[in-house]
């Protein structure tokens, strides 16, 4: 599962990537996590508020830290 966290490096973005990593490890789901900080790349996904989360090329979240339940749902669906 390819997951990208879009953001310029703010605390919420760092928290989001750490939370996804933590939950994926706890669930035993293999993920490739990538942090995208380039503003043009972020806007290329149509994300205007960060952090954004892209899973396998599809934007699934934008703006604010996603909840644990939401992240677990993404990982379960994969």
The answer to whether 74 and 5 have CB atoms below 8 angstroms apart is no
Whether pLDDT at 14 is above 90: yes
pTM as predicted: 0.94
pLDDT tens digits along 31-57:
999 999 999 999 999 999 999 999 999
* Number of Cα atoms under 13 Å in the Cβ half of residue 30: 0
pLDDT band at 9 (very low <50, low <70, confident <90, very high): confident
Write down the pLDDT at residue 20.
Answer: 98
Q: How many CB atoms lie within 10 A of CB 72?
A: 16
Domain ranges of the chain: 2-77
pLDDT band at 26 (very low <50, low <70, confident <90, very high): very high
Q: Which fold has domain 2-77?
A: Glutaredoxin (3.40.30)
């Amino acid at each position: 599962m390819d997951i990208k966290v879009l953001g310029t490096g703010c605390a919420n973005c760092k928290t989001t990537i750490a939370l996804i990593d933590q939950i994926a490890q706890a669930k035993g789901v293999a993920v490739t996590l990538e942090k995208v900080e380039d503003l043009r790349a972020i806007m290329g996904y149509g994300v205007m508020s960060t952090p954004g989360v892209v899973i396998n090329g599809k934007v699934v979240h934008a703006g604010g830290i996603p909840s644990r339940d939401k992240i677990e749902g993404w990982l379960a669906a994969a």
